Amino acid sequence: MKNKYTLLQVLLMFMIPAWSSFAQGIPNPGFENWNGTTLTDWVHNGSSFIPTVTQSTDAYSGNFAVHGEVVDFVGTPFPPTLFPGTQASPLFAFTSRPNTLTGQYKFEGQGGDALFIEVVFINQSIGGGGEGHAEITANAAGYTLFEIPITYAADNPPGWQPTDASITITIKPPDQQIPSVGTKFTIDHLTFDGMPLDVEEIENGLKPDEYSLEQNYPNPFNPSTKIEFSVPESGNVSLQIYNLLGERVANLVNGYLNSGTYSAEWNAEALASGTYIYQINSGNYSETKKMILLK
């Protein structure tokens, strides 16, 4: 009969501290930086003795991704677990309010196991928070986009902003069970989408009389570029970026904007050189342009 333990117990098993040096944003979001078998800026329970978390060259973008697998250790299944920060403080500094956490994944589940991804936002001074999570059970042999909507507490103070965030990635077994040996995932290219600070209004004292989408500048660019656009009527606006396969790689704007002219900045550090397409939609207006990332 299978032993039983909780997800919390899973998270605490064999944690190995990692070095950390954080700036605003997800640390090492493309899983490019490693120190031997240790993933830089993340805590994980992989080691040469228990290889639950390892470096993978099967990357969605860049050179590397992170691979996790439930392995047998002395007759006990050990699931992969990783999160940014340190074992004592699984947090990184973050002061924006994104709409979603996105990323690319592959998954091969056994025995009803799920790929569990959770993101949490807190303010360490005044409390309050936000949260989103996904439990993925469907197998995905090729890279597949996941999108986790983030919900902020209704009783957060007006103007509430987080001070820190956390992301947890692990394998969650069915209730009252343990994970199955052989369940595995590969994850790459984590991003926060739809952050209010992704777009800034350009104060020129003029109200635009028509919709417009300008050519990004600089172009070609490496790794950041800006996109200006105008909306003559207040309403919902989306500004999305796609690769040439039609896969969405970023969602810069996704929400309500007042009439005005705006500038959105995109950082494509984790992506490969090539041509990308950006598209704006607002009401009945839609326009698309191309840009070139040249590294």
Tokens representing 226? 């800006």
> Which band of pLDDT confidence, cut at 50, 70 and 90, is reported for residue 128?
very high
pLDDT in tens, 217-263: 999 999 889 999 999 988 888 899 999 998 888 888 877 788 889 99
User: What is residue 157's predicted lDDT score, i.e. its pLDDT?
Assistant: 86
> Which band of pLDDT confidence, cut at 50, 70 and 90, is reported for residue 7?
very low
Domain that holds residue 157: 7-193
Burial bucket for residue 232 (CB in 10 Å: 0-12, 13-18, 19+): middle
Residue ending a domain, among 193, 210, 231, is: 193
Are residues 36 and 70 located together in one domain of the fold? yes
3-state secondary structure 1-69: CCCCCCHHHHHHCCCECCCCCCCCCCCCCCCCCEECCEECCEEECCCCCCCCEEEECCCCCCCCEEEEE
From 294, 288, 292, select the one nearest 229 (Cα to Cα): 288
197: helix, strand or coil = helix
Number of folded domains in the chain? 2
Look at residue 1 and tell me if it is in a domain: no
CATH, residue 152:
2.60.120.890
Look at residue 161 and tell me if it is in a domain: yes
Look at residue 200 and tell me if it is in a domain: yes
Are residues 179 and 201 located together in one domain of the fold? no
Q: How many other C-beta atoms lie within 10 A of the C-beta of residue 122? A: 18
Are residues 23 and 56 located together in one domain of the fold? yes
Look at residue 2 and tell me if it is in a domain: no
Are residues 127 and 55 located together in one domain of the fold? yes
User: What is residue 23's predicted lDDT score, i.e. its pLDDT?
Assistant: 36
**6 pLDDT above the threshold of 60:** no
Are residues 261 and 186 located together in one domain of the fold? no
